[in-house]
Amino acid sequence: MKEEELKRLVEKYYSGESTEEEENTLRDFFRKDNVPEGYEAEKEIFSFYNGSDNIPEPSIDFEARILAGIDASERVAGSQKTKRYIISVMSAAAGLLLLAGSYFFFVKESETTDTYTDPKIAYAETIKILMEVSSQLNHGTQALEPVGKMKMITSKSFHSINKSTRIIESSLEKINHLQNTTEIKKTTLDKSRNN
């Protein structure tokens, strides 16, 4: 077989457009030992098909097990959302407590007996106090950094779950294609036996 024709048949096979006769031609070709370079993977695939006449059907509860696994992963994702919500609320409450505590601490500690008569000095003191409060708040927000890291980890987990789901879907499509192919072959064999 010429390499151009081989390439055309392999492309038709992978796109699912090959006829049974073309697939048989490919099987016969890949049974030989001298396969052109670059077609080693196809030789392995077709040698597997030649060696396995009966492809086992998935177990009866196969689909139920897959659906149960998906449901379990969704429950885990739901509990992670709840945990993230609780952590956010607790962090906000802790920040408010810190703010209220620092306010009362500064008010009690800096009871003024004297008022400023010069507005420039009053403004400077206000800026000084606001800078201290700001630095205290910035220090408090550093405790919230793990919450951001948790969000990143959750995002990576969802990416992994989506990748696993795509792999399962791809495998199921291949199984369905093999099942359809075996049903067509079985029907063809039954027709040829009846003739």
Per-residue model confidence as pLDDT tens digits over 102-137: 887 777 665 555 577 788 888 888 888 888 888 887
pLDDT digits (tens, 9 = 90+) for 23-77: 888 888 877 777 778 878 887 777 776 655 556 677 788 888 888 888 888 877 7
Mean of the per-residue pLDDT values of the chain = 79
Query: CA-to-CA distance for 126 and 120, rounded, in angstroms?
Result: 10
**pLDDT given for residue 55 in this prediction:** 60
**pLDDT given for residue 51 in this prediction:** 57
The residue ranges of every structural domain in the chain are: 3-53, 62-190
Query: CA-to-CA distance for 70 and 114, rounded, in angstroms?
Result: 69
Query: CA-to-CA distance for 59 and 6, rounded, in angstroms?
Result: 36
Residue 115 backbone dihedrals phi, psi, to 5 degrees: -105, 155
CB atoms within 10 A of CB 30: 20
- Among 21-25, 96-100, 159-163, the range scoring the smallest mean pLDDT is 159-163
